[in-house]
Chain A
Amino acid sequence: DVKVTQSSRYLVKRTGEKVFLECVQDMDHENMFWYRQDPGLGLRLIYFSYDVKMKEKGDIPEGYSVSREKKERFSLILESASTNQTSMYLCASSLWSLQGAWTEAFFGQGTRLTVV
């Protein structure tokens, strides 16, 4: 079974802190993603990565950065946390299909971040 593991289930951080959310997958997937989930807004893509050291902005990248130094690990960084970044953060990984689209993404258990 595919396993995507996020380092924390719950986090509480103060405004202005630098926050690291870590994600590891064990299935050798090329692609990894970070989403945030908010009530009424569904899942919104923050960043994704299709290879080591490669990253692409998603739909809401402002206030975030990412790092992918190894294939299995994808980190989301909040440079200076703000209260509007309080949310559920979901990491996922997937493969490329032969036809060039992403196959199904497998998700971690989520990190509920509260910024106070």
Chain B
Amino acid sequence: AQKVTQAQTEISVVEKEDVTLDCVYETRDTTYYLFWYKQPPSGELVFLIRRNSFDEQNEISGRYSWNFQKSTSSFNFTITASQVVDSAVYFCALSGNNRLAFGKGNQVVVIP
């Protein structure tokens, strides 16, 4: 069975601080994808990044970076120099074997 665990529920940071969101997954599939989504207060889920199980290269996109470690089944997400617009719920998700499973999300609150 697919499972995604996001341990922290709500994280508050002061603007310009860095914030890291942890994601741990479980799967028996050899081929799978991992994703991060952002859900701002408006409600629509916005796709941020995809990683496949064969690509452990970390990625940086502006203030966002992702660290995929297959050995620890983790796919962590860091926001550097956070801004108020980063306030949202962030979901980690796992695709494989006819399932697209989501974690319960991290509520990030950036305080001005």
B32 within 8 A of A: yes
Is A45 a contact of B91 with CB atoms below 8 Å? no
Is B44 a contact of A103 with CB atoms below 8 Å? no
Nearest-CB residue, chain B, relative to A2 = B47
Q: Indicate with 1 or 0, residue by residue over B80-112, a CB within 8 angstroms of chain A CB atoms.
A: 000000000001010111111111110000000
Given A40-B104, A42-B91, A99-B52, CB of A110 within 8 Å of CB of B43? yes
A residues near B64, Cβ cutoff 8 Å: none
Is A103 a contact of B91 with CB atoms below 8 Å? no
B56 within 8 A of A: no
A56 within 8 A of B: yes
Cβ distance B25 to chain A, nearest Cβ, rounded Å: 13
Interface residues on chain A, number (Cβ under 8 Å): 28
Is A101 a contact of B102 with CB atoms below 8 Å? no
Is A103 a contact of B50 with CB atoms below 8 Å? yes
A-B contact count (CB 8 A): 66
Nearest-CB residue, chain B, relative to A108 = B44
Is B31 a contact of A101 with CB atoms below 8 Å? yes
Cβ distance B100 to chain A, nearest Cβ, rounded Å: 5
Given A99-B31, A99-B52, A101-B32, CB of A42 within 8 Å of CB of B104? yes
A105 within 8 A of B: yes
A90 within 8 A of B: yes
B residues near A87, Cβ cutoff 8 Å: none
Given A109-B43, A110-B43, CB of A33 within 8 Å of CB of B52? no
Given A40-B104, A41-B104, A42-B105, CB of A101 within 8 Å of CB of B95? yes
B14 within 8 A of A: no
B→A interface (CB under 8 Å): 29, 31-33, 35, 37, 42-47, 50, 52, 91, 93, 95-105
A→B interface (CB under 8 Å): 33, 35, 40-43, 45, 48, 50, 56, 88, 90, 92, 94, 97, 99-110, 112
The list of the 10 closest CB pairs from A to B, nearest first, reads A42-B104, A107-B45, A43-B102, A102-B95, A99-B31, A101-B96, A109-B44, A104-B47, A110-B43, A104-B50
